[in-house]
A and B are shown apart, each in its own frame.
Chain A
Amino acid sequence: SYVLTQPPSVSVAPGQTARITCGGNNIGSQSVHWYQQKPGQAPVLVVYDDSVRPSGIPERFSGSTSGNTATLTISRVEAGDEADYFCQVWDASSDHWVFGGGTKLTVL
């Protein structure tokens, strides 16, 4: 089955840029979606189809894919960005949705 690998944690100082990676075999050929989840809340879609921002999501959030890695980039990080972030794809070979294990973003 298809596996998505994320680093368990990423730390960044306020105002800096955070990059959260999601590794998967030839993930560049997939549509990758990213979700933000704060404690006790439901997830929120922050980037879909690799790089599209839903309405209401700040421009500071962006996404990209290349080869075996997808990246969620958060520019000018704020304290309110502290959350868990999950990548996700639809694996057409198995008709399964797949989530990455999640990355906890800590704002120092």
Chain B
Amino acid sequence: QVQLVESGGGVVQPGRSLRLSCAASGFTFSNYGMHWVRQAPGKGLEWVAVISYDGSDKYYADSVKGRFTISRDISKSTLYLQMNSLRAEDTAIYFCAKDHYGDHSAPIDLWGQGTLVTVSS
């Protein structure tokens, strides 16, 4: 069925790195832009990054620019988020998400279940 499954979350010390993965299935991965959106405990949604359907365009929230890198492997139908220089304020559930019609302004119509990243010493 159509789904997104995140993995790679866990507890990491400040300043260290972590890579999240998101396995897509049930749709043509190469046709859609993909996002990472995070949610700190008890807080609202915060957009993190988006990558275009072909990987040529990438945009980042100011809070993660220069530290996080979004990428995709179309052959594996997998989305990634490389997170470096992690900070306590990066602690959140990270959702992988698919856009509705392949444009930066397109809404998200499919979300993963999320993976928890905790940055703590």
The number of chain A residues touching the other chain, given as a range, is 20 to 34
Annotate B27-59 by CB proximity to A: 1 below 8 A, 0 otherwise. 000000001000000001111001000000001
- List CB contacts (< 8 Å) of B59-112 with chain A: 59, 61-62, 95, 100, 104-105, 107-109, 111-112
Residues of A within 8 A of B109 (CB): 45, 48, 54
User: Please, which residue of chain B has its CB at the minimum distance from the CB of A48?
Assistant: B107
Given A86-B44, A96-B61, A97-B47, A42 and B107 touching (CB < 8 A)? Answer: no
Residues of B within 8 A of A14 (CB): none
* Chain B nearest Cβ from A94, distance in angstroms: 9
In Å, the complex CA distance between A99 and B44 comes to 8
* In-complex Cβ contact of A35 among B45, B50, B59, B105 (8 A): B45
The number of chain B residues touching the other chain, given as a range, is 20 to 34
Given A86-B44, A96-B47, A102-B44, A31 and B105 touching (CB < 8 A)? Answer: yes
In Å, the complex CA distance between A1 and B112 comes to 28
In Å, the complex CA distance between A58 and B26 comes to 24
In Å, the complex CA distance between A1 and B61 comes to 11
Query: A-B pairs with CB below 8 Å: how many?
Result: 56
Q: Establish whether residues B45 and A102, one from each chain, have CB atoms under 8 Å apart when the complex forms.
A: yes
User: Please, which residue of chain A has its CB at the minimum distance from the CB of B93?
Assistant: A42
In Å, the complex CA distance between A45 and B35 comes to 14
Residues of B within 8 A of A88 (CB): 45, 47, 107
Residues of A within 8 A of B46 (CB): 99
In Å, the complex CA distance between A84 and B47 comes to 16
Q: Establish whether residues A42 and B62, one from each chain, have CB atoms under 8 Å apart when the complex forms.
A: no
Binding site for A on B (CB under 8 A): 35, 44-47, 50, 59, 61-62, 95, 100, 104-105, 107-109, 111-114
Provide 17 A-B residue pairs closer than 8 Å at the C-beta atoms, listed in order of the A residue. Answer: A31-B105, A35-B108, A37-B45, A42-B113, A43-B108, A44-B111, A48-B107, A49-B107, A54-B109, A84-B44, A86-B45, A90-B105, A95-B104, A96-B47, A96-B62, A97-B35, A98-B47
Binding site for B on A (CB under 8 A): 1, 31, 33, 35, 37, 42-45, 48-49, 54, 84, 86, 88-90, 92, 95-102
